[in-house]
Amino acid sequence: LKISAKTLNIEDNKIIEIRIIDSGPGIDPAVESSLLEPYITTKEKGTGLGLAIVKKIIDEHSGTFWLENNREQNGACAVIRLPVNLFS
């Protein structure tokens, strides 16, 4: 598991980007486009709510959240972007 953070300037907005990268099998293409929707799961006993809740919380803080396959090696990457100064 690798976690990294950096600040970015996107369209004159200061953003913090957090990446969480694992070395598992990656994201199944069959569910890739729907993984952030409620009740979508690839786990036998999963509820499919975890990623949907994460996305909702980040959306409520004017951020963005997405998943992608790790380009450097096997695994997946969760990307969180949040504004640094929401009210400045």
Q: What is the pTM of this model?
A: 0.86
Q: Which CATH number covers residue 10?
A: 3.30.565.10
Closest CA to 16 of 86, 69, 75, 67: 86
What's the pLDDT score for residue 28? Answer: 86
35 neighbors 55 (Cβ within 8 angstroms): no
Q: Residue 45: inside a domain, yes or no? A: yes
> How many domains in the chain?
1
Written as tens digits, the pLDDT of the chain (88 aa) is 999 999 999 998 999 999 999 999 999 888 888 989 999 888 889 999 999 999 999 999 999 999 999 877 889 999 999 999 766 5
Please list the residues that pair with 80 across neighbouring strands: 18, 65
Q: Residue 7: inside a domain, yes or no? A: yes
Q: Residue 88: inside a domain, yes or no? A: no
What's the pLDDT score for residue 87? Answer: 62
Query: What's phi and psi for 57, nearest 5 deg?
Result: -65, -45
What's the pLDDT score for residue 70? Answer: 84
Query: Can you give the residue range of the structural domain that contains 9?
Result: 2-83
Q: Residue 54: inside a domain, yes or no? A: yes
